[in-house]
Amino acid sequence: MPIMNHDFSNLRALSVIEKFVQSKHNFYLTGSRFFGVSSSDSDYDFFTGDTPGLDYFLEELGFECVVSDYNDNNCKYVCRHHEAHIDVQVVKDPCMKEAIQESMKRWGVIPRSSSKSYNTSLWNFASDLYNF
């Protein structure tokens, strides 16, 4: 599973992440922790596809859908676990998102967590290139 190659120091998050791994849904690490620019107080960001049963699974874990500033073209909605500090982006095309973020990391194009408008523009531009 793609998320197991990362160190998780938040024990509250770890129990939720273990349930991700045991589920039938595929969760992928993204955000500052994926790109290696996190700080000690960074949250955990994941993405997944909109698969049958996902909403129920996330709700049972304590997630709630939130209004979010993840406004890239591939993001359908975001669910947040407030206690574990985890956001899950439910995306239209998880394969595309995985390919784009792997390429961005390889090329050294790192989204800036402090500039959501920059990040959105960057993701939308990368998506346009991917679909070209």
The dihedral sign for the CA sequence 76, 79, 5, 2: negative
Task: Provide the residue type at 50 as one letter.
Answer: D
Please check whether residue 25 is in contact with residue 51, taking contact to mean a CB–CB distance below 8 angstroms. Answer: yes
Q: What is the domain partition of the chain in residue ranges?
A: 2-131
**Tens digit of each residue's pLDDT, the chain (132 residues):** 455 445 555 678 899 999 999 999 999 999 889 998 888 888 999 999 999 999 999 999 999 999 877 778 899 999 999 999 999 999 999 999 999 999 999 988 887 766 778 888 888 888 888 888
CA 122, CA 118: separation in Å to the nearest integer?
Answer: 6
Taking the model in full, what pTM does it have?
0.87
- CATH class (in words) of the domain with range 2-131: alpha beta
Please check whether residue 91 is in contact with residue 48, taking contact to mean a CB–CB distance below 8 angstroms. Answer: yes
- Where do the H-state alpha helices sit in the chain? 11-22, 31-35, 54-61, 94-107, 116-131
Please check whether residue 123 is in contact with residue 91, taking contact to mean a CB–CB distance below 8 angstroms. Answer: no
